Structure 1
């Protein structure tokens, strides 16, 4: 017999006796000797009240054998001589599109402008230490995409778009721990994700797929409504039958190419703002009511905040407990910040993007002549402003939090995890009024929701501008572009995903659609 139960265990109870099998037996009024095993299906933490509670969803096996293997199987086969499908981009969407092609008997040919994870490390080091930005190899571009070196969060709300469990099981198949199948907000960590990405690459190559790193697509040759040839940056030409476009939210050259060739693209909603960084112990103290010392059983505390200000949402984005702020620029002459956490989330700082919804009609009027690229040009303008205010290096402009809210320059800044360094700057006046004023009101509201959050022990750092793509590449019911019959826009760059898991699911869907056509 197998019974599913829900258990709530307080932190003191968990500290006193962590034996979940005994708790399940007591809950079911069953002799513990009859319980052959307990499988944790889901685990979360409820810290809304003074006593922290662990929520468990369990499958309890009573005189029943535990399953020996997962119900998910990945049937990869040799596709070295099979029909080809070309995939531009090797982030989550491109990787999962390639894996799905192999499962379905097609050969993926992946073209990735950046480098593999090992070589990419050198370019990331150059950004952090030497302030040198490689436009094709950075925190956004390269094997694994933007998620590889910026956290590996797996939480998604896209539960209706595909089989989320299948995506997680595939990550476990390639080396992730089983914890991601259980945690309510799963996370791999930027220190572990590269090894998993490497194993995915090896699977694709071992079964006959191709991956071409440092290979940038610069043009399409189109006949009637069909892409016939891809033009590469070394002037090589590559004949294609079907193309999955999975280039990510920062591949601005692709958006500009499509716009130049009169291939339909659309402006879409997005958000911009800043990244705020607190000492982790402050967030722990607020969330867990634990003072300066967090109990060992509790992970570094996270938070999620939202406030309506003047008809717009101001909200936290990509919250990184125990993490680092990193430079995410993709071109020289811009400063962009993002966040990441190692798997243990053991850094002494917590950071999060705090962003504001951008309304194209109201906020982008001065960029309207750029048409569908108005949001992209607005992004660029703020990133250049941030670059100038930071001293024209990857040093980022920053301000103490309450100084920002009060509208005054910070005479000095707090210690920060941002490796290129910070310089004091009046972000309250550098940001456009529609953005800065809402952020200031939002921070005031967050201080009321989380007492102690609004403190001058926190820095805000600018600018957080790459939350999502400001451009959408349209597609019809068969997932093809309405003008180009063999082009399948995919993932975050197409405007159809908002993170690793949703991008991976969209990659699988696009592979299936390309094969069906």
Structure 2
């Protein structure tokens, strides 16, 4: 016998396992003397009222064994002698494209410019401690891509892109906790992601695929408007049935290469701004309506804010981006001579600080003189702002920062609060180097956001510059139906770098779809 219940519980009732099982057994109406199997299938936090509630969907089984939560394992066919597909980039899009290609009987050859996830850590340490930027191994480049060292958020609105449940089950099969199948806003955490990424790679290798690290693509082999393969920095030519281009949103050299080889690309709107940092206790007190500690059962709270602004007759959104509860700010430059910040969280989200991007929508019409750069207009604009942040911070990975109210009042901060940003901060008036319409819109929006989260606008919080890698500044156009490039056959632009995804899960789904489309057309 199976019963499904919809419950609204207190945090303790929902997260104290013994108490949860007792309450569910009572509400099920089934005899407590029976051997009951109790399993939560959906769980979300409702903090709209004065008392936080946890909405839980739960299944109760009596006298029968439930079906397993996941229906797939890590069994893949051997494709070592099959036709190859070239996949450029080992981020979520590239790795999931490779696994899907294996399922469909083709051999993936994954080319990654950076290092494997374990070796990559040494370069991240050098970046944080010595301010040395390795242009091929950093928070953006290397096995797992930018998603490896992030909060590991798995929430997406892009459910039409593919099978969301399937992606989650593959992650669980490779080491993620089954909780990601239950929570409304699941995440994995930066401390857990490297092992999971390693397991995904092992599945590719065990099935006969290839993953080549320190392998940078420097040329595309094009013949009669068709791509035959790629050339690496070592001069090696690698051919395949087609090429899935999954290089991520920071691979500027690839965008330049495409433009140089006259492959159609186009400038794309994106968003740019700063990262804002509060103490997590403040965000908890606002979101959970608590005076002090949130207690042992509630997770670190998050938020999502949007505020429309009007400047010179143009309306643009200012919004939070990649909010990291209990996390820390990290240096995400991918080349020397620039400062870029991003956020990440461990699985427990137990850090002292909360941080989030606070960014302004940038439309192509806002770029003015950058229009002379054609399809690279947004990219050049983005790069110049990052270089200005580097100059303002003192020409190292020290980041320019300012207390929030001081920024809005256009005055330099006399001192700065403590921070999670390891390379350090320098007190700077960010209005001096941020593009005028970016700083003005931020200054408009931040006080107004206090109406939605009372206490958010405070001089005890600070902003750190710059948050600029929100999405790709370039789109590589492709057919809506076939996913194939509009000009070059057998080329499949994929994921965040091509402008078709916005996170780990949406990139993974896009990778799968690209592999399916390529093999459907050319793999027979």
Query: More displaced, 340-349 or 470-479?
Result: 470-479
Retained in 2: the 8 A contact 1:242–1:514?
yes
After TM superposition, the structure 1 = structure 2 runs for residues 204-215 of structure 1, keeping only pairs within 5 Å, are: 204-215=204-215
Say if 1:222 and 1:18 are closer, same or farther in 2 by CA, change over 3 A: same
Retained in 1: the 8 A contact 2:86–2:229?
no
Q: Point out where structure 2 has 5 or more consecutive residues left out of the alignment.
A: none
The separation in 1 between residues aligned to 2:243 and 2:126, in whole angstroms, is 33
For the pair 1:387 / 2:390, whether they are aligned, the reply is yes
Q: CA RMSD in A?
A: 1.5
Query: More displaced, 446-455 or 335-344?
Result: 446-455
Equivalent residue number for residue 337 of structure 1: 341
For the pair 1:60 / 2:63, whether they are aligned, the reply is no
Equivalent residue number for residue 358 of structure 1: 362
Q: By how many angstroms is 1:60 displaced?
A: 2.3
For the pair 1:280 / 2:284, whether they are aligned, the reply is no
> Could you list the per-position Cα deviations for residues 4-42 of structure 1 after superposition, in whole angstroms to 9, with x for gaps in the alignment?
221101246558985333333443433334562122111
After TM superposition, the structure 1 = structure 2 runs for residues 118-267 of structure 1, keeping only pairs within 5 Å, are: 118-267=118-267
> Could you list the per-position Cα deviations for residues 109-167 of structure 1 after superposition, in whole angstroms to 9, with x for gaps in the alignment?
01100000111001111110000100000000000000101221111111111111111
Say if 1:212 and 1:190 are closer, same or farther in 2 by CA, change over 3 A: same
The separation in 2 between residues aligned to 1:205 and 1:256, in whole angstroms, is 31
For the pair 1:374 / 2:371, whether they are aligned, the reply is no
- Give the SS at the match of 2:478: coil
Equivalent residue number for residue 508 of structure 2: 504
> Could you list the per-position Cα deviations for residues 25-82 of structure 1 after superposition, in whole angstroms to 9, with x for gaps in the alignment?
4434333345621221111111112111011011222433222462235540111111
The separation in 2 between residues aligned to 1:25 and 1:11, in whole angstroms, is 18
> Could you list the per-position Cα deviations for residues 390-424 of structure 1 after superposition, in whole angstroms to 9, with x for gaps in the alignment?
00000000000111111110011110010000001
> Could you list the per-position Cα deviations for residues 246-268 of structure 1 after superposition, in whole angstroms to 9, with x for gaps in the alignment?
00000111111111222111222
Q: By how many angstroms is 1:221 displaced?
A: 2.1
After TM superposition, the structure 1 = structure 2 runs for residues 456-471 of structure 1, keeping only pairs within 5 Å, are: 456-471=459-474
Q: By how many angstroms is 1:228 displaced?
A: 2.3
- Give the SS at the match of 2:159: coil
For the pair 1:319 / 2:318, whether they are aligned, the reply is no
Alignment length, in residue pairs? Answer: 516
Say if 1:41 and 1:122 are closer, same or farther in 2 by CA, change over 3 A: same
For the pair 1:6 / 2:9, whether they are aligned, the reply is no
Retained in 2: the 8 A contact 1:398–1:461?
yes
The separation in 1 between residues aligned to 2:15 and 2:83, in whole angstroms, is 57
Q: By how many angstroms is 1:294 displaced?
A: 1.9
After TM superposition, the structure 1 = structure 2 runs for residues 57-96 of structure 1, keeping only pairs within 5 Å, are: 57-68=57-68, 70-96=70-96
For the pair 1:490 / 2:494, whether they are aligned, the reply is yes
After TM superposition, the structure 1 = structure 2 runs for residues 435-446 of structure 1, keeping only pairs within 5 Å, are: 435-446=438-449
Query: More displaced, 91-100 or 44-53?
Result: 44-53
Any runs of at least 4 consecutive aligned residues in structure 1 with deviations exceeding 6 A, and if so which? none
Q: By how many angstroms is 1:470 displaced?
A: 1.2
Equivalent residue number for residue 517 of structure 2: 513
Q: By how many angstroms is 1:237 displaced?
A: 2.0
Retained in 2: the 8 A contact 1:390–1:396?
yes
The separation in 2 between residues aligned to 1:504 and 1:254, in whole angstroms, is 20
- Give the SS at the match of 2:123: helix
For the pair 1:427 / 2:430, whether they are aligned, the reply is yes
Retained in 2: the 8 A contact 1:189–1:341?
yes
The separation in 2 between residues aligned to 1:4 and 1:117, in whole angstroms, is 41
Equivalent residue number for residue 472 of structure 1: 475
Equivalent residue number for residue 400 of structure 2: 397
Equivalent residue number for residue 417 of structure 2: 414
Retained in 2: the 8 A contact 1:74–1:103?
no
Say if 1:102 and 1:439 are closer, same or farther in 2 by CA, change over 3 A: same
The separation in 2 between residues aligned to 1:141 and 1:200, in whole angstroms, is 17
Retained in 2: the 8 A contact 1:227–1:240?
no
Retained in 2: the 8 A contact 1:189–1:342?
yes
- Give the SS at the match of 1:286: helix
Say if 1:68 and 1:257 are closer, same or farther in 2 by CA, change over 3 A: closer
Q: By how many angstroms is 1:446 displaced?
A: 1.2
- Give the SS at the match of 2:326: coil
> Could you list the per-position Cα deviations for residues 458-504 of structure 1 after superposition, in whole angstroms to 9, with x for gaps in the alignment?
11000000000011111112111111111010000111100000000
Equivalent residue number for residue 46 of structure 2: 46
Equivalent residue number for residue 293 of structure 1: 293
